[in-house]
Structure 1
Amino acid sequence: MEEKETVFVVSDSVGETADLVVKAVATQFNGGFVELRKNAFVENYEDIEDILLMAKQVPSLIAYTIVIPKLKSYLDRRAKEENLAAIDLLSPLMDAFSRTFNKSPKYQPKLMRQLDESYFRKIEAIEFAVKYDDGRDPRGLLHADIVLVGVSRTSKTPLSMYLAHKRYKVANVPLVPEVAPPDELYQISRNKCVGLIISPDKLNSIRKERLKNLGLTSQANYASFERILEELDYADKIMRRLGCPVINVSDKAIEETADYILNTLKK
């Protein structure tokens, strides 16, 4: 049985970069003819020797992304001694960067996989938005970057999640005439509270569609004009008491409203 041509994909990290480059090249040669053997987290000379031993058994070449200088030099030397082709996928571009921009690389593996502070802030903000959604725990209002208030179906939750992806901790509180707002809402700065309002016609349409999706009759009190006007009037009184900026979300996309909120709060 004829041995299949093999490319040993070698990396001192996950190996995604080398894997993608090799696959891109292989497609130019009807890629299915070649077998890829991925070797990730290669961190010592013994790992390299194991790869060389396997590579000698089949028609092969080695494609690698190794940035640790000693490890790279060792692989280059030993591959040459074993008469094996070892292709460095990173150094030509890194050398070009150094020459052109007069900067030195860090020569540190796994940098692309390091989770930076910004990533952790986003995850924390998303978890915060979930935990303090829909007035679930009013204690979160005191720790939020932004607090959204409004009647049901004014996009409070989607806005909270969208802003969380921008690394803002957002809590939201539904305003319902039968339920007094939590005391914490009056303890926060009005500079981080935003009221969301909507036209009665738009809210009526949204609520009817919501009831329809739930399999309920559109004649329910939730979607009645009388009830909607009562809720909007109540919300207006609360927002006036808070002294917070108010945004009409009737004809705005989530992204547009979010940008408006951030610009308003910055002012």
Structure 2
Amino acid sequence: MTKLHLHLLSDSTGETLEMIAKAALSQFDAVEVERHFWPMVRSQQHLDRIMQEITHFPGLVVFTLVNPDIRRSLEESCAEANMPTVSALDAVTESLSLALGQEQLHRPGRQHQMDEAYFKRVEAIQFTIAHDDGLMWEEWEEADIVLAGVSRTSKTPTSIYLANRGYRVANIPIVKESPPPPNLFRLKRPMVVGLTTSPDRLIQVRRNRLLSLNQAPETAYVDKEQVEDEVRYARRMAADNNWPVIDVTRRSIEETAAAVINLYNERRTQMSPRNAGTNPV
């Protein structure tokens, strides 16, 4: 198995760099990667301290640094240590510069500036947390998206992920013995999406959940016949109300959220083509 030390340096939070590295690494098998994460690198003194650790664990250095002096120092130090460096955003930034006819501003962390969109994302997160698990159903009409599904179909983490993208999300568990509030079926503004999964996968997830809580793993909550009945009930509810359904059995949270966003954009296209493909914030 190939082993690699991967050093990720950023002059901001490093969130973008981490996502790029994760996406790239997913294309390789049989590798053991030890990541070294270095955020907020904005001074020569900080870089000097980091270089001691980097040279102790030589590998590939990937960075997003806009300060030309710090960037040059990093590249020269790595060249002396015979370590390759990659600037993760150069190609995109240079292409944008040509397309826009502008020079880049060389401002670290500018994507995290607290503009109007930032505060709207914060509001979306607050709304989503307040409307988790069926809470405050009287305000669901204010949501952009409502996720509905049986217990343990990733409704909450998907909601939070979408909220971080600026969508106001509510979610509700579909429980056969406790029907949802009637206004769920009268919503006009939000898009209601059903989340489902295979009964076998659902039983596995629920059993692991019970074990993590030190509870008996053999209850009606994981009974195969009852779980299958739950899933059928939720699917029937979605079909009766013309809700789109996403099967999360083999999807990550990110993939489920991407599918929801695609559905949301398609709905906006049908309602108003001018708004297609735009984030609500």
- Per the alignment, residue 21 of structure 1 pairs with 43
Q: Runs ≥4 in structure 1, deviation > 2 angstroms?
A: 19-28, 111-114
Change over 3 Å in CA distance of 1:113–1:170 after alignment to 2: closer
Aligned to 1:252: 251
User: What is the one-letter code of the residue matched to 1:173?
Assistant: I
The one-letter amino acid of 2:237's match is I
Cα gap change, 1:199/1:117 in structure 2, threshold over 3 Å: closer, same or farther? same
- The change in CA–CA distance for 1:127 and 1:113 in structure 2 (over 3 A counts) is closer
Structure 1 pair 116/225, CA: closer, same or farther in 2 (3 Å)?
same
- What are the Cα deviations for residues 152-179 of structure 1, in whole angstroms up to 9, with x where unaligned? 0000000000000000000001100111
2:123 is matched with which residue?
A: 124
Aligned-pair distance for 1:21?
Answer: 2.8
Note if contact 1:140-1:171 (Cα within 8 Å) is conserved in structure 2: no
Tell me if structure 2 keeps the 8 A contact 1:142–1:187. no
| Structure 1 residue 201 corresponds to structure 2 residue 200 | yes
Distance (whole Å) between structure 2 residues aligned to residue 251 and residue 197 of structure 1: 11
The one-letter code of the counterpart of 1:20 is R
Q: Distance in 1 between matches of 2:148 and 2:132?
A: 11
Structure 2 counterparts to residues 172-191 of structure 1, below 5 A: 172-189=171-188
Equivalent residues of 1:190, 1:244 under 8 A apart: no
Mapped partners of 2:46, 2:197: distance in 1: 51
Residues 222 and 228, structure 1, Cα contact 8 Å, conserved in 2: yes
> Shift of residue 238 of structure 1?
1.5
User: SS in structure 2 opposite 1:172?
Assistant: strand
Task: Report the Cα distance in structure 2 between the residues aligned to 1:215 and 1:265, rounded to whole angstroms.
Answer: 39
Which blocks of at least 5 consecutive residues in structure 2 are unaligned?
A: 1-40, 53-96, 267-281
What runs of 5+ residues in structure 1 fail to find an aligned partner? 1-18, 31-96, 106-110
The number of equivalent residue pairs is 177
Give the superposition deviation at 1:240. 1.6
Counterpart-to-counterpart distance in 1, 2:219 and 2:192: 31
Once the two structures are superposed, the pairs formed by residues 139-150 of structure 1 within 5 Å of their partners are 139-150=138-149
Whether the 8 Å contact between 1:195 and 1:246 is mirrored in structure 2 is yes
Q: AA paired with 2:212?
A: N
Identical-pair percentage = 39
Structure number with bigger Rg:
1
Report the 3-state secondary structure (helix = DSSP H, G, I; strand = E; otherwise coil) of the residue aligned with 1:148. Answer: strand
Contact 1:190 1:242 in 2 (8 A): no
Displacement of 1:211: 0.9
In 2, distance between residues paired with 1:164 and 1:205?
Answer: 27
State the SS of the aligned residue for 1:186: helix
Partner secondary structure for residue 263 of structure 1: helix
Contact map agreement 2:155 2:171 (CA 8 A) in 1:
yes
Counterpart Cα distance in 2 of 1:112 and 1:192: 29
Between the aligned partners of 2:225 and 2:111, the Cα distance in structure 1 is 56
- Against the structure 1 CA distance between its residues 188 and 217, is the aligned structure 2 distance closer, same or farther, given a 3 Å change threshold? same
The CA distance in 2 between the partners of 1:139 and 1:165, in whole Å, is: 23
Superposed displacement of residue 22, structure 1? 4.8
Whole-Å separation in 1 of the counterparts to 2:118 and 2:171: 23
Read off the aligned partner of 2:238 and give its amino acid letter. M
Secondary structure (helix, strand or coil) at the match of 2:171 reads: strand
Could you say what secondary structure the match of 2:43 adopts?
helix
Does the C-alpha gap of structure 1 residues 115 and 228 become closer, same or farther in structure 2, counting only changes over 3 Å?
same
Name the Cα RMSD after superposition: 3.1
Q: Which residue of 2 aligns with 1:262?
A: 261
Normalised TM-score (structure 2): 0.56
Q: 1:140 Cα shift?
A: 2.6
Moved more, 187-196 or 117-126: 187-196
In structure 2, do the counterparts of structure 1 residues 142 and 191 end up closer, same or farther at CA, with 3 Å as the change threshold?
Answer: closer
Shift of 1:237: 2.1
C-alpha displacement of 1:190: 8.3
Q: Report the alpha carbon displacement of residue 151 of structure 1 after superposing the two structures with TM.
A: 0.1
